[in-house]
Amino acid sequence: MLTAADVVPGEIEELDPEQREALDACVIAAMTWCAPEGDVRARVRLLMECHGRYMRACGVSSEAASFPDFLKRLRRAPVGGLLPGPGSWPRIYDARLLEDDGTATAVLTRLVIEASERAQEVPGMGADLRHVHSVLRALGKLPAGARLSRITAEAVQYAVFRALQEAGFAAYTQSREALITSPAMPRRTLARHTHLVDIGLYTAISPMRQFAGWWAPCPLCRWTMRAVPKGRYAAELLCEDARHVERGARFRMSSRDGQWRLEPSGGEIRDVPELRPVEGHVALSYGLWQWIVVPGLLEIELKDLAEKAGAQVRLWPYGDSYDLHITKNGVTWRVDVKTWADPQGIAEQMREDPEGCSGLTLVIPEHLSGYTGVLTRVLGPHGARVITDVALIGEVIAA
């Protein structure tokens, strides 16, 4: 199953100009179609504009010759069926932009933020994008007059982490761990994290992740779940991470006697999160959650598991040279965690600093174990070892 974390927006550059234009028109139209916010007439105008852009990209022979056909294809066809010309992006070609019920897939949400030149026009998503840009501007990483357009995980991570390091290593570790473990919190709690307040990383709860004045955290990542209205007195709340949804981070919100309640919609998760008022709470925007919280979850989990196995662990040691320094009974692991499904991108990033690879244990999630071989062939000659998270903890337990 392709998830949002597996989408690598840099691969869009492999598409030809017509395919990129068609994809951009489709992701903007699909999110506009399912977003509950915004003036209806403005949304229809944007949809029709996207249809025109799509037709120009595809040419007169396109199957989506009419506006209704275009909307129908958005709801039914995978990405590969929407783009003109031969396929050159196989990992995304089978993914869909909309669920069967017409709501956004996690893949669509990430594509809008990371891969679209016009995401600021989409109802609901524009606020998330503007917040990330305001953070970059405040940190001096985006010129004041820069146009809202595509941004990358690397640019955001670099800007945020460098800013946090200015307060010293202890404060950096504390602040970064707080971002990962508390991606949403009460305003009064945030006030205790002075450095996070100064950078402005938290903002108001997004309209897309609240309903009737309430929101709820995902039981697994603790970030605000997306709210999909199902009438005036019901909504579905689900995490933006598809793997969390598979495990049960999906709930039905409904009102009985004026009291709002959550009920699980299946999966292994049995603990129902508490509904919390929007007023008085803040959260990271989508981009900061996707690029800082999601990869950091595995780092924190590995730290906790290694400590339970009797090891001593330091997070982000030596100025964040790598992610975890683990020692037990004279054995040391210098661990760099990679959670994205792009072996070529991982290899290229690490080969840029061959000395940094030497002696590192590169850890990837178990569900990406199929990439272990190719990464070993590329990075092994530089002194790096590649294993899965499960294998790492097995080694620590056995030491």
| DSSP secondary structure string for all residues of 48-92 | HHHHHHHHHHH-TT-S--SHHHHHHHHHH-BHHHHS-SS---HHH
Q: What is the pLDDT of residue 137?
A: 80
Q: Which of 237, 254, 277 is the last residue of a domain?
A: 277
- Give me the domain span that covers residue 28: 4-123
Least confident of 79-83, 293-297, 312-316: 79-83
Residue 64 falls within a domain, yes or no?
yes
If asked whether residues 391 and 346 sit together in one domain, one would say yes
State the average pLDDT over residues 182-207.
92
Long-range contacts of the stretch 385-392 (C-beta < 8 A, 24+) = 385/360, 385/361, 386/361, 386/362, 387/361, 387/362, 387/363, 388/363, 388/364, 389/298, 389/301, 389/302, 389/337, 389/363, 389/364, 389/365, 390/366, 392/302, 392/333, 392/335, 392/361, 392/363
Least confident of 103-112, 165-174, 190-199: 103-112
Q: Which of 225, 255, 277 is the last residue of a domain?
A: 277
In the block, tokens 């709690």 appear at 189
Residue 293 falls within a domain, yes or no?
no
Least confident of 97-106, 112-121, 273-282: 112-121
If asked whether residues 326 and 390 sit together in one domain, one would say yes
Residue 61 falls within a domain, yes or no?
yes
Residue 282 falls within a domain, yes or no?
no
Q: What is the pLDDT of residue 4?
A: 47
Give the chain's domain count.
Answer: 4
If asked whether residues 176 and 260 sit together in one domain, one would say no
pLDDT digits (tens, 9 = 90+) for 326-374: 999 999 999 999 886 565 666 666 666 655 677 899 999 998 888 888 8
Q: What is the pLDDT of residue 355?
A: 55
Residue 216 falls within a domain, yes or no?
yes
DSSP bridge partners of 254: 234, 261
**Residue 99: its H or E element:** none
**Between 269 and 202, whose confidence is greater?**
202
Rounded CA-CA distance 10/259 in Å is 46
Residue 147 scores a pLDDT above 60: no
Number of other residues whose CB lies within 10 A of the CB of residue 236: 18
If asked whether residues 186 and 264 sit together in one domain, one would say no
Q: Which of 93, 123, 153 is the last residue of a domain?
A: 123
Residue 383 falls within a domain, yes or no?
yes
Residue 179 falls within a domain, yes or no?
yes
Residue 60 falls within a domain, yes or no?
yes
Rounded CA-CA distance 196/176 in Å is 9
Q: What is the pLDDT of residue 208?
A: 84
If asked whether residues 114 and 20 sit together in one domain, one would say yes
